[in-house]
Amino acid sequence: MAVALAKGIRFLKGLAHSASSRYQKLSVAGKAVIWFILFCYACLTAFIVVVTPSRIAQFLYDIAQHIRHLPYGHVILIAVIIVISFPPFIGHTTMVNLCGFTYGMQGFIPAAIGTLAGSTIVFVTLRIMFSKRLHSWTSTNEKWQALETVIRSRGMPLIIIIRMSSFPPWVYSNTLFASIVSVSLPQFFVATCFVLPKVMVYVFIGSRIARLSDGEQRNHMDTQTKLINSLLVVGGVLLSIFASSLVYYFMQEEIKRLHNSSSVRDELAAEALEEAENTPLLSSDALSSP
């Protein structure tokens, strides 16, 4: 137990050091964006405290029930998931939670369809629209060439690890793989299927939160039932955090192995993977080139 705790503490310290290092490397504009996001979160927290969580939860539950009773409510959720799979949108996890919030565990079907369809459409669209610019960018970038070579040689295991990791986030992950020529559409689709267990956990969390959000249902629950539902929500959140951290740890270990390799190609690939959010399809230089 003590050994596991010590490893956990070292892992958290490593994450903190990595986050601090990434922050220090950011430009002034990048740091300003980080502080702006933190300010927005602070305002959101203050709003929740003032309005009260119960009122907000009831309001969201009423909207979810309205969507549920629409003839094509599930189609709306799928469409929104597809749209937010394109950069620069965010909110994939929130929308998956909303599927569970609206339909219970049946919400896994629209969540899974939206996740697979959205990522596939993004992959194909970016490949078709920016293929020439992508080739022009990658042909002059040694790091990206090395990353493509390493992924081609390591195959599906590495693709799956990167895809399942929470870093880079969903939208950036879609764009990352669309930028890597050595990743085919079938490989990308199969790797995305490995994300579905995590999607199911998010749907489950949403379904439990829905039961606690409706005042009428909550009033008919005894204390034990409320406690069980609350513990299930907390357990689901902790499970998703643990799974995401575990996959992220494996990805970092893979990056370390590449760094420690004697091959210059592996070293360049590791650097490119660490800078995954700066994919050529999101690069202003690449997109502005003729």
Supply the pLDDT for residue 186: 92
Instruction: State residue 109's pLDDT score.
Output: 94
Encoded tokens for 85: 């799979």
- pLDDT for 120 equals 94
Q: pLDDT under 70 in the chain at which residues?
A: 1-8, 11-12, 15, 135-145, 214-226, 229, 240, 243-244, 247-248, 250-252, 254-255, 258-259, 261-262, 264-267, 269-290
Nearest-angstrom CA–CA distance, 188 and 120: 8
Please give the span between the terminal C-alpha atoms of the chain, in angstroms, as a whole number: 58
Q: pLDDT at position 221, please? A: 65
Residue 287 pLDDT: 41
CA distance 8 to 66: 43
Q: Which among 100, 83, 103, 81 has a CA at the least distance from the CA of 92?
A: 81
Task: Report the pLDDT value the prediction gives residue 179, as an integer from 0 to 100.
Answer: 79
**Residue 236 half-sphere exposure, CB side, CA atoms within 13 Å?**
21
pLDDT tens for 32-56 read 878 888 888 888 888 878 877 777 7
Pick from 194, 157, 188, 161: which is nearest to 175 by CA? 188
Q: What is the pLDDT of residue 280?
A: 62
pLDDT value at residue 285: 45
pTM of the predicted structure, to 2 decimals = 0.71
